[in-house]
Amino acid sequence: MPRKGGQKTMEESLNQHHFILPALILGFLFLRSFNPVCAQEGATSVAAKDRPDVRHNADTLRQFNEFGSYGLFINGIHAGLHGGSAGLQTTYSYRNFNGYREHSNDYSHNFDLGYQTSPSENTSLQILGHYTGGVLKRPGSLTKTEFEQDPFLADPRAVNRDEKRITQKGDVEIRFEDHFGESQEQRIEISGTGQIEYFVRSAKEYKITTRYIVGLTARYVNEEKLWNHGSEFTLGGTLLHQPERKEEYENFGGQQSDQLEQIEVEKTSMASCYFSENYNLIGKKLNILLGGKYDHVIYSVAEETQPARSDTKRFRAFTPDISLKYKIIPAVTIQATWEMKFRNPTDRELESPDPAYLYNQDLKSQTTNTLKASLKGDLVKNRRSLFLKSWVADATISVSQIENEIVRYEILGDEYFRNAGITNRFRLNFHTRLEIISNLNLSAGYSFSHYVYQSYITQSWEEDVTGNIVKLNRDFSGSTEPNIPVNSLNLALAYQHQVWETCSISAKISYARLGGLWVDDANSEKTAASNLMNVFAGFNMKFGRFICNISGGVSNLFNQVYVVTANMNSADRRFYNAGSPRDFNGSVNFGYTF
């Protein structure tokens, strides 16, 4: 049975927070009355450019509004205070979107607060806070037949279950940085984080998770010369502890029933340390970077309803990397890199498809070896020229081999994960930007991806001819990885012009072509390629201390129907998720500098 009585649902409580906006305005006026000033007037840290800047040159108040098709609107307020070497920023925003598909609406409240001060010339202290709360409805995926009939419908199962995610999350981070040494060439950075999360996942079951996170990160950097050559040595590490409690109830049409099915208490402990040495071998022409990282992750889970059931998983690895960067000429640089990466499964990915186990007993960590070469250059740079004032370009080729790649699959709306054996990946990226005439820029980007399973034998959940979900032995060796386009192309033409001293205009037109997507590891179906055109125009004004920005645009100008992403490896072949149809959007922002 669903819950009854006068209790407000979490959705109703979240939707009653509109009082925050006027409260922030009053709070800003109050804060401005004391305008905090540090004793070290005007002092700035040596490495201010290296960290998030929460300072302002002047006190500011800005109100922003965005709107668009399908009930999209985002509005909020930003306030900033500056006083000597201290600064304070605060932002609140509310987002609402009705969605272009059935059962895809969402809304959220977001609040950010940042404070920074420099107690002395070479030290900095930051306090950062963030809160978000909202609801996201999930429309599910469609079969090919359903997609061809109406791509903007929802999966009937998702509607019947009222599939959604309800989130409330808050975190606080404190960062400290200090420079020391004869020439301030050494620095230490320490960051502590605390976070509380409460979220609901309504799918086959109604799951409530309460999570606490405590983390500590430290880093030491030394930029002293080594053997009369430039050097930057870094040593750091991270500790994280994350206990959580999961309650699972029967899902009664999207409502929590009174029937408690399971309680799990889970803990995640993570520890990592790393080092790197960036050494200048030859003048400013040749650099070598050596590094390494060690990760150790422990997951443990116990079922409170049956205390005898528990499980523990451990993942650990050391991963090195090396990189050489060489400047052929001042404007052209080549770089070669070999790196090894380790990825452990997340606690969510470890959920077992077999109810006899709490953790997936077969899921392993993923290891990637990558060779990469890149070429970057400022091919033309002549500000005095009338045409072709600048031309920059970069190209990258990478070859990777992945052992035990973590692959997603879905059974009737519930997602699980398995390992592929060995995956080979080849990728080519090219990007260039030309300033044709003053303030008229043409940019182009192209990528080619050839991702193939070299060896991949697994048990796959699939729907048989009678409509039942069965487990079958499959060999997907030689298949192309799903959900990744082989070819993608992006073109954009942008122009900006200063009409008067207090007014400027800007415009942009862009085109994107994405290749089709394989929808499963068997490569049984492939989506069509898409061609998308977007246009944008903006108008900026500044009169004394007052600033106004007005902009608008159209996305998917020709209203093409396309698949934005595939629900890969769906047992009942619900692979298709439509991208947004033609979408009109705009914004009006006002600001004032005190």
Report CA-CA distances (Å) from 495 to 226, 228, 538, 539: 47, 47, 10, 12
Pick the more confident residue, 388 or 362: 362
Say what the pTM is: 0.85
Give the span between the Cα atoms of 75 and 29, in whole angstroms. 19
The single-letter code of the amino acid at 74 is I
What pLDDT score does 172 carry?
A: 96
> Which uninterrupted H or E stretch holds 157?
helix 156-161
479 bridge partner residues: none
Mapping DSSP to helix (H, G, I), strand (E, B) and coil, where does residue 503 land? Answer: strand
What is the full DSSP assignment across 240-268? EEEEEEEEEEEEETTEEEEEEEEEEEEEE
Give the span between the Cα atoms of 492 and 485, in whole angstroms. 20
DSSP summary character for residue 39? S
What pLDDT score does 57 carry?
A: 56
Residue entry with tokens 């991702």: 451
Q: Where are the beta strands (DSSP E) in 344-421?
A: 366-381, 390-403, 406-411, 414-419
**In the chain, where the domains are located:** 364-594
The single-letter code of the amino acid at 105 is N
Q: What is the pLDDT of residues 458-514, one digit of tens each?
A: 999 998 888 888 999 999 999 999 999 999 999 999 999 888 888 999 999 999 999
Q: What is the pLDDT of residues 126-182, one digit of tens each?
A: 999 999 999 999 999 999 999 999 999 999 999 999 999 999 999 999 999 999 988
Average pLDDT for 318-337: 94
Q: How many CB atoms lie within 10 A of CB 329?
A: 9
Residue 543 has pLDDT above 80, yes or no: yes
By the 8 A CB rule, do 507 and 499 touch? no
CA proximity to 194, closest of 169, 223, 225, 228:
169
By the 8 A CB rule, do 269 and 295 touch? no
Residues 6+ apart with CB under 8 A from 203: 161, 163, 251, 413, 414
What pLDDT score does 78 carry?
A: 94
Look over the chain and give the mean of its residue pLDDT values, rounded to a whole number.
88
What pLDDT score does 6 carry?
A: 41
Helices (H), 469-557: none
Give the span between the Cα atoms of 103 and 535, in whole angstroms. 28
Structure tokens at 227: 């053997």
What pLDDT score does 500 carry?
A: 85
Neighbour-count burial of 332, counting CB atoms closer than 10 A to its CB (0-12 exposed, 13-18 middle, 19+ buried) = middle
364-594 — its CATH code?
2.40.170.20
What is the full DSSP assignment across 189-203? EEEEEEEEEEEEEES
Best mean pLDDT range from 379-383, 464-468, 494-498, 590-594? 494-498
Q: What is the pLDDT of residues 190-204, one digit of tens each?
A: 999 999 999 999 988
Residue 84 has pLDDT above 80, yes or no: no
